[in-house]
Structure 1
């Protein structure tokens, strides 16, 4: 499907520049979720059709990142996936993270191991033989900075260091693969535009051998009742019991994304982000997230009056641009800010 045709499936109110907080659903996802809610209201179906959407979503996410379906686990949050990954660490583990990393990829490590930090652009240089794992976001939440992925992977492999990526601010607009990664976690309610409550993880076979399914439940096992304890033989052993309606909305959105060219989405997003940067007298950038100084005291009020919705992160305005962003959205923000 061509991107221009697909964009007609979204109906944002002008001024939405906040996908880094949450993405907006396409019409097929909204309609299917509404149907499921109606079924729930009237008790007109079994739960199995909703659960089928978990299977459909898992396969679609695997396609999106080019991974085998059996290596994909489903959850509700990225932090829960990362917490289970942390069970693979030895008692004396040392984890290296960026010094501005979002806490969902910080706190799970902090309760399990010693945490070292480094600036995002110096992460590769900070990996040493003592580094058990390096954990980082492919795109930083606060600043939009892209990780120097190839440098990190090369340095990590030289020291047999595990590579753990959070793709929550990347999947959906930036081409993402599992090449060189031991694990990847992704909250799907941002750039993947799924309902909050759907999250996906890639767990490599060599990492799974070292992990413990500490959130074991009926969905991660092969039986609903009684002993013995039997896990699925693949990444499903680390599944969290799914929030069905979140996956009812996730499946059609992920299928739609797989019909599009991620490079086309990236080009569109960067065109909108760079139109915004240019209007503010900034040079072009490589991220769909733009971070701005917020020192002017009436900036929030000006944006609100213009109907522009952004976020404030780390004391700075954060604007984010996705496939449904238009030049009108950008120009509304520029007029309010300038």
Structure 2
């Protein structure tokens, strides 16, 4: 029988049996893994482990089949073709692959459509994770392009009108998150793609917080590139995925070079394979890829429509829980508005790290800090926030446990109402 989100799915994740009474509200950082994912990797390592895409032995063939079968599963899960999914170390690495490839193209080492120069513009929002900001900062510095920022308001939210105001005919790249890891804002991706196409710009989507939680069809959304990580979607660490439209991936210079990515090598030059192999130089994270495929199997069995419906309920409950606590302020869309299943909180008079420790002492696991989004936190006027985030296994009882613990923070630290 297919798992049902919430308490039913929770039984599939061994973490909860090992930590009874713990409300795990840190899925936006790293999700827990179900037994089926852990077992899939274990079986592969014990029984089918071998080099992939190397040699002609039966062992190599079986390992390669498992490796590529996982790619097919992940591709199908996000509406991509098999050649449109590249294995990377993680989503940060995937975003760097695109930026570094464009840097090489700008230096004359690849297709001119990716080349940037003086006067060109790269647009990002002020709410971006550092992984979708710093690579573009570096690309601008290398090429002479200008980094242009879409501003956010006091709640940390950006708008399409704000984007339109900064996009010009010189805009070459628009990089943005599908779902903000701090505010929970769900971006209007199709509208952004339309704006980008109007000026001939490429779109690069950080899909880390959307692919695990929403039905996502990247081809239908129309983005040119996207990045997401296995460890945020019931899978292992050490592997992520870069999506790119096939014709773009085949033309983008590979960020790393070496064995397995080439067709012909001489002492003077090398020619590269089409995507995805052109980007997968060296030995890959084979067992992690197999586990990534198993994670997709698990989420597909639950059904992403069911996951999304469950998390809409949990997300609203989290927002309402924060709103019910005097002295606690919710970052991002208010309770009742569309938002992802996460809630970043500012508790007046108490540092986020102290809030997190207080909650942890009461069995509530959350994330504290700037969440790799320092520029956004500067706009919010704080160094850090406390973030509670949900997944397929999160229950309303955990949300209530979070609310009860949060309501005791200011009293414990002696902060007056």
1:312 equivalenced with 2:359 (yes/no): no
1:242 equivalenced with 2:280 (yes/no): no
Aligned pair partner of 1:221 in 252, 256, 262: 262
Greater mean deviation of Cα atoms: 176-185 or 251-260: 251-260
* TM value normalised by structure 2: 0.73
1:336 equivalenced with 2:405 (yes/no): yes
Which whole-Å deviations, capped at 9, do the CAs of 1:111-131 have from their partners, x for residues lacking one? 112311113323344221111
Contact kept in structure 2, 1:134 and 1:164, CA below 8 Å: yes
1:287 equivalenced with 2:340 (yes/no): yes
1:299 equivalenced with 2:303 (yes/no): no
Q: Which residue of 2 aligns with 1:252?
A: 294
1:73 equivalenced with 2:76 (yes/no): no
* TM value normalised by structure 1: 0.89
Contact kept in structure 1, 2:10 and 2:394, CA below 8 Å: no
Aligned residue for 1:116, secondary structure, equals: strand
Unaligned stretches of 5+ residues in structure 1: none
Alignment RMSD, CA only?
Answer: 2.6
Greater mean deviation of Cα atoms: 305-314 or 318-327: 305-314
Distance change in 2, residues 1:22/1:226 (3 Å) = farther
Q: CA deviation at 1:162?
A: 0.7
Q: Which residue of 1 aligns with 2:374?
A: none
1:18 equivalenced with 2:40 (yes/no): no
Q: CA deviation at 1:104?
A: 1.0
Q: CA deviation at 1:32?
A: 2.8
Q: Which residue of 2 aligns with 1:200?
A: 241
Distance change in 2, residues 1:229/1:287 (3 Å) = same
Distance in 2 between the 1:302 and 1:214 partners?
A: 44
Which whole-Å deviations, capped at 9, do the CAs of 1:91-134 have from their partners, x for residues lacking one? 31421001121111112121112311113323344221111010
Alignment: residue pair count? 333
Contact kept in structure 2, 1:79 and 1:108, CA below 8 Å: no
Distance change in 2, residues 1:51/1:328 (3 Å) = farther
Q: Please identify the structure whose Cα radius of gyration is greater.
A: 2
Contact kept in structure 1, 2:9 and 2:393, CA below 8 Å: no
Distance in 2 between the 1:26 and 1:7 partners?
A: 9
Q: Which residue of 2 aligns with 1:90?
A: 115
1:157 equivalenced with 2:197 (yes/no): yes
Contact kept in structure 1, 2:318 and 2:342, CA below 8 Å: no
Once superposed, which parts of structure 1, at least 4 consecutive aligned residues long, lie more than 6 Å away?
A: 223-228
